[in-house]
Structure 1
Amino acid sequence: MRYEKCEQCRQWAASIALSSGAFLAILKFAVGVTSGSKGCIADSLHSAIIFVMALAIILGRRLAGKEENSKFHYGYGKIEAVVTGSITFLIACGGAVLVWNSVKHLMNAPQYGPPHLSALLMALTSIIANEMLARYLLCVGTQSKTRSILANAWAYRENLISSIIVFVGIIGAELGLGVLDPIAAILVVALITKSCTLIVLDSVKALMDYSVNGTYGKKVRTIVEAVDGVQRIAALRTRQIGHKIWLDLDICVSPGQSIREANHIAQKVREALLNQIADIDKVIVAWSPLEEDRC
């Protein structure tokens, strides 16, 4: 990390994202209801997704600290995927209801007036807050090399886009184009649907032990091959447990190495991976002499 305070920022990042997401979601929903802005209500659902993502990070960290037991030999990491997927599905259902109401609003546009100006102020506040939070989390995620924090940062940046859409829609409604506010709501729900789909797919993949070799494979191979004594990598298997990665690795060592020396090489590989990739939680390293069939 670049600065000593980066570690402190990393520890607080998920809590800041969680509280900010919850605050913005509640505030936007309240303003949307009182001002009559469908776009503002839709934007509140988008903030709720960020809240869910931050909740998943905190939940994952707490569960990761729980010890395995006789009933759960591999810990509780997958509950994060269950909770995240379930809450995201409920948010998607809320989005569907909002689209239906927005369509009805479009069909009866002459009966509705423009939203109150408080919705415009809320949208502007959301734009500023989302940009500040995105920059903060991008800095923390980049310095700490934490993928989950970076994902939260880009979620805030996407929420910024939805807030801009709402801002434009409300201005249009104030200028006499009343249909722009519900149209903005539909566009925001489209962004929400995209986010929800990706989160639910990630949750399903996590439950099915989907390989993350595509994300971490190249870096893992670079680190392992740099360890003195490793001849080649015979097999690399990864899976995501909560917000952490578990890794099974088969390496090949020289046939002339003693069992003690080979075990020492395997230990050095394990330590190098844990020290250089923050997302890795557990590493199992098996070794074989280079001349064996598995190598």
Structure 2
Amino acid sequence: MNYEDNKAEAQKVTLIGSAVDLTLGVVKVVIGFFFNSHALVIDGFHSLTDLVTDFFVVIITRISNEKPDDEHPYGHGRFETLGTVILGAILMTTAGALLFETIQRLVTGTQSVVPGWPVFITAIVSIIAKEIIFQYSKRVGEKLNSPLLIANAWHSRSDAITTIVVLVGSLFAYFGYFFMDALAAVIVSIFIGKIGWEFLFNSIKELVDTSLDSEKVREIKGEILRVPGVISMHDLRSRMHGQKAVLDVNVQVSPHITVSEGHEISSWVMKNLIEKFDEIEDVTVHTDVEDDRDEAYMHSDLDLLPLRPTLEEEIRSSWSKLSDAPMLYEIHLHYLGGRVLVDLYLLNSEINKDQLESWSSSVRNDLSKTSWFKDVRIWNSFL
């Protein structure tokens, strides 16, 4: 499913929920007012406040499902994470307000008037409607892997639970046991607050680049090592970006293969990980020819070896000191163990093995004076 399909389905389920919230909110307020249920009136306003969160979810899902652009090359998934943080905070605030009011009622011993029978019918219809919306929203949220839609679904479930409290409280109030209404409300308020805290805590972990869980990391490592050509891997780092994960990893390949082969091995690592793990959106693979996990490459004062222009100048200078030496055809440089192994290639069928060894010894003695030199090998393509 592409970005546009995700956006359309997310907005559809949210708009349906908004319509239900508007209808239930108005009906609860009217019925509660005319049939002596202050609790149902409050619950009605609670349903109407859900319209605010529904409107908020519509905006956030529209933004978070936009395609990556120049300013957001990894997509807009973090907007959904931010939205889940805000929604979690709303749930916790709602729970706190309900808990405060309920405790006041328990302390003061405030009693409710006996409600009329339409209050019970309205509460039952509301509970059923909100449960249907919860199941629908949760199913779509899990299908789209959207924490924000799942959080909003649980918001609907919390609304259904508060209505259950109203129903139970009204039933007890009908028979004169008014304190049970407040006691049940305390339990529900704590439940709502717990849900809000879980969404808030998990989303904040994403915002601070929390990694994937250890079991998932173990599976990823195993998949990397199954790619032909990968000798080992290290420095696997992951961070959540909305509902997706972004990975960085170093893979070690043979130092004697070509750059293009090493790049192809890395490309297969990236391809296999993205295809096998749905939660992985992007992988950056660093190709190493040796295990450099102890090297402090993030430090600006790291002593690095010279690059080709400097080395080639010194190599050609050393080569020019040889008598009757032919022109160098190619120079291959292998950066290994903090030094450089030099391969020199010639195109001359008249050169014998003893001559090659003599030149190798001369160049070796000359370049050994440098800080970067490891060894030299001379190859004649026609021998």
Please give the range of the TM-score, normalised by the shorter of the 2 chains.
0.7 to 0.9
Give the AA of the match of 2:67: G
Q: Give the direction of change, closer, same or farther, for the CA distance of 1:145–1:103 in structure 2 (3 Å limit).
A: closer
Confirm whether residue 61 of structure 1 aligns to residue 64 of structure 2: yes
Give the AA of the match of 1:15: Q
Q: How far off its partner does 1:284 sit?
A: 1.0
Higher relative contact order (CA 8 A, sep 6+): 1
Do the aligned partners of 1:15 and 1:58 also contact (CA within 8 Å) in 2? Answer: yes
1:204 aligned partner = 204
State the Cα RMSD in Å. 4.2
Q: How does 1:16-35 map to 2 (within 5 A)?
A: 16-27=12-23, 29-30=25-26, 33-34=29-30, 35=32
Q: How far off its partner does 1:207 sit?
A: 2.5
Q: How far off its partner does 1:256 sit?
A: 4.5
Q: How far off its partner does 1:162 sit?
A: 5.6
1:271 aligned partner = 271
Q: How far off its partner does 1:241 sit?
A: 2.0
* Distance (whole Å) between structure 1 residues aligned to residue 73 and residue 4 of structure 2: 32
Confirm whether residue 187 of structure 1 aligns to residue 187 of structure 2: yes
Q: How does 1:1-295 map to 2 (within 5 A)?
A: 13-27=9-23, 29-30=25-26, 33-34=29-30, 35=32, 36-37=38-39, 40=43, 44=47, 51=54, 55=58, 58-59=61-62, 61-62=64-65, 64-69=66-71, 76-109=76-109, 111-133=111-133, 135-136=135-136, 144=143, 146=145, 148=147, 151-152=150-151, 155=154, 159=158, 164-214=164-214, 216-289=216-289, 291-294=290-293
Deviations 1:71-130 (A, max 9, x none): x67665434444432343244333322222223333455642145545533443354345
* Distance (whole Å) between structure 1 residues aligned to residue 59 and residue 240 of structure 2: 14
> What percentage of aligned pairs have identical amino acids?
24
Do the aligned partners of 1:13 and 1:149 also contact (CA within 8 Å) in 2? Answer: no
Task: Structure 2: give runs of 5+ residues left out of the alignment.
Answer: 33-37, 295-383
Q: How many residues align?
A: 286
Do the aligned partners of 2:229 and 2:265 also contact (CA within 8 Å) in 1? Answer: yes
Helix, strand or coil at the partner of 1:113 = coil
In the superposition, the TM-score normalised over structure 2's length comes to 0.58
* Distance (whole Å) between structure 2 residues aligned to residue 285 and residue 25 of structure 1: 48
2:354 aligned partner = none
Helix, strand or coil at the partner of 1:146 = coil
* Distance (whole Å) between structure 2 residues aligned to residue 201 and residue 49 of structure 1: 22
Helix, strand or coil at the partner of 1:246 = strand
Give the AA of the match of 1:84: T
* Distance (whole Å) between structure 1 residues aligned to residue 254 and residue 116 of structure 2: 74
Deviations 1:116-145 (A, max 9, x none): 545533443354345545555666566x58
Larger % of helix: which?
1
Q: How far off its partner does 1:67 sit?
A: 0.9
In the superposition, the TM-score normalised over structure 1's length comes to 0.72
* Distance (whole Å) between structure 1 residues aligned to residue 271 and residue 115 of structure 2: 58
Give the AA of the match of 1:65: K
Give the AA of the match of 1:286: H
Give the AA of the match of 1:285: V
* Distance (whole Å) between structure 2 residues aligned to residue 155 and residue 61 of structure 1: 20
* Distance (whole Å) between structure 1 residues aligned to residue 56 and residue 19 of structure 2: 14
Higher Cα Rg, which structure:
2
Helix, strand or coil at the partner of 1:78 = helix
* Distance (whole Å) between structure 2 residues aligned to residue 161 and residue 215 of structure 1: 35
Do the aligned partners of 2:106 and 2:182 also contact (CA within 8 Å) in 1? Answer: yes
Deviations 1:170-213 (A, max 9, x none): 43333332223333332222112112212222332222222224
Q: Give the direction of change, closer, same or farther, for the CA distance of 1:13–1:195 in structure 2 (3 Å limit).
A: farther
